[in-house]
Amino acid sequence: ILKKCTRENWEESCLVLQRYFSWEYEDYHYEK
């Protein structure tokens, strides 16, 4: 996934992935 984080698609992929993982992490944290 990190390899896909290039300067060309960082805004399209990495940013979305970052927000997605942040949401997933928060959900996981609240479950525990």
Q: What's the confidence (pLDDT) of residue 28?
A: 62
Averaged pLDDT for residues 1-13: 58
Averaged pLDDT for residues 15-20: 75
Cα separation, 4 vs 1, in Å, equals: 5
Q: What's the confidence (pLDDT) of residue 2?
A: 54
| Domain count across the chain | 1
Q: What's the confidence (pLDDT) of residue 12?
A: 66
Residue 32 CB: number of other CB atoms within 10 A?
A: 4
Residue 14 CB: number of other CB atoms within 10 A?
A: 16
Q: Which residue range is the domain that position 9 belongs to?
A: 2-31
* pTM metric for this prediction: 0.29
Residues 6+ apart with CB under 8 A from 1: 17
Question: Residue 10 pLDDT more than 70?
Answer: no
Yes or no: say if 6 and 14 are a contact pair by the CB < 8 Å rule: no
